[in-house]
Amino acid sequence: MHTMNTMLDAAFFRHPVLTVAEELIGKHLVVRGASHMITEVEAYDGPQDLACHASRGRTKRTEPMFGPSGHWYVYLCYGMYWMLNIVTGEEGYPAAVLIRGIRGHCGPGKLTRALGINGQFNALPAIRSTGLWVEDRGERIDVERIRRTPRIGVAYAGEWAAKPYRFVLE
Q: Quote the domain boundaries for residue 108.
A: 6-169
Euclidean distance between CA atoms 17 and 25, whole angstroms? 13
pLDDT band at 105 (very low <50, low <70, confident <90, very high): very high
Report how many domains make up the chain.
1
Residue 1 within any structural domain of the chain: no
Instruction: Residue 109: give its domain's CATH number.
Output: 3.10.300.10
Residue 46 within any structural domain of the chain: yes
Residue 55 within any structural domain of the chain: yes
The angle subtended at Cα 10 by Cα 61 and Cα 86, nearest 5°, is 35
Residue 116 within any structural domain of the chain: yes
Residue 10 within any structural domain of the chain: yes
Q: What pTM was estimated for this model as a whole?
A: 0.95
Is pLDDT at 20 greater than 90 in this prediction? yes
Is pLDDT at 2 greater than 80 in this prediction? no
Euclidean distance between CA atoms 76 and 78, whole angstroms? 7
For residue 104, give the DSSP letter: T
Looking at residue 78, what is its pLDDT? 87
